[in-house]
Amino acid sequence: MTIRNTSMKHGWFYHYRLNDHKIDFLCCNGFESLRTYLDQVFTNCPDHYFESGPRGSSLKFKLGIKPIRVEGHEVSQLADVGLKSSRYKTAHSNVQVHMLEQDGTTIGVEVPIWLQDHEIKQYKAIFDSDEPLTGHIDIVRIEDGKIWVWDFKPKADLEKYASTQIYFYALMLSKRTNISLDKFRCGYFDEYSAHIFKPEQDQLDKFLELKQKLVAVVRQ
């Protein structure tokens, strides 16, 4: 097993890790650009993007997404085992590395991603900024021909905005790899439950439409 890792100082330190063996096996049949991106960002990440501007983990609005709650999901079982480890200081690292090493579909953790203002419409209206949106995906898996974007959230049932954060994580990775958003699935989880959904452009479009209507009412 070959695991590559590097530490990225993006406000604080993130440990970006890849399982090269699983990438070689899973990043084929249309996902070659994902493999290329994951490899290139090791040495060619625009670190200055992460110094300021909006962050995916700080988004505090809802897109109207209604995730499906699943008890006993495979990722929850993996988290439960990972949390019993004291290998690392943080729960996140113990869960992430356990999945990267032991789960057959996890290919990367703490994957850096970004989105620029010209890449989606009404960018400034959404984020109130022209600076790039940035983030780090906790866990990337490839399963059943889909790229799964996962975020480990202790007390997942109490999350209010996790679906928004992970939606934009999937959108950012879609833009970076030029892989259709239709090929992505999203979820957040703890050791008890997982909350999953399919990211769709329509979800963002409806949010923008509602936002425009609210602005119009305020201006009347």
Q: In a structure prediction context, what are the per-residue pLDDT tens digits for the chain, which is 220 residues long?
A: 689 999 999 988 999 999 999 998 898 888 999 999 999 999 999 999 999 999 999 999 999 999 999 999 999 999 999 999 989 889 999 999 999 999 999 999 999 999 999 999 999 999 999 999 999 999 999 999 999 999 999 999 999 999 999 999 999 999 999 999 999 999 999 999 999 999 999 999 999 888 777 655 555 5
- pLDDT, tens only, 35-71: 999 999 999 999 999 999 999 999 999 999 999 999 9
CB crowding 143-182: b at 16 or more within 10 Å, else e: eeeebbbbbbbeebeebeebbbbbbbbbbbbbbbbebebe
Contact 136, 14 (CB under 8 A): yes
Query: What does pTM read for this prediction?
Result: 0.95
Facing residues of 152 across strands? 189
Tell me how far apart the 2 most distant CA atoms of the chain are, in Å: 62
What per-residue confidence (pLDDT) applies to 29?
80
Paired tokens of 117: 């203002």
* Separation between Cα atoms, residue 51 and residue 118, nearest integer Å: 19
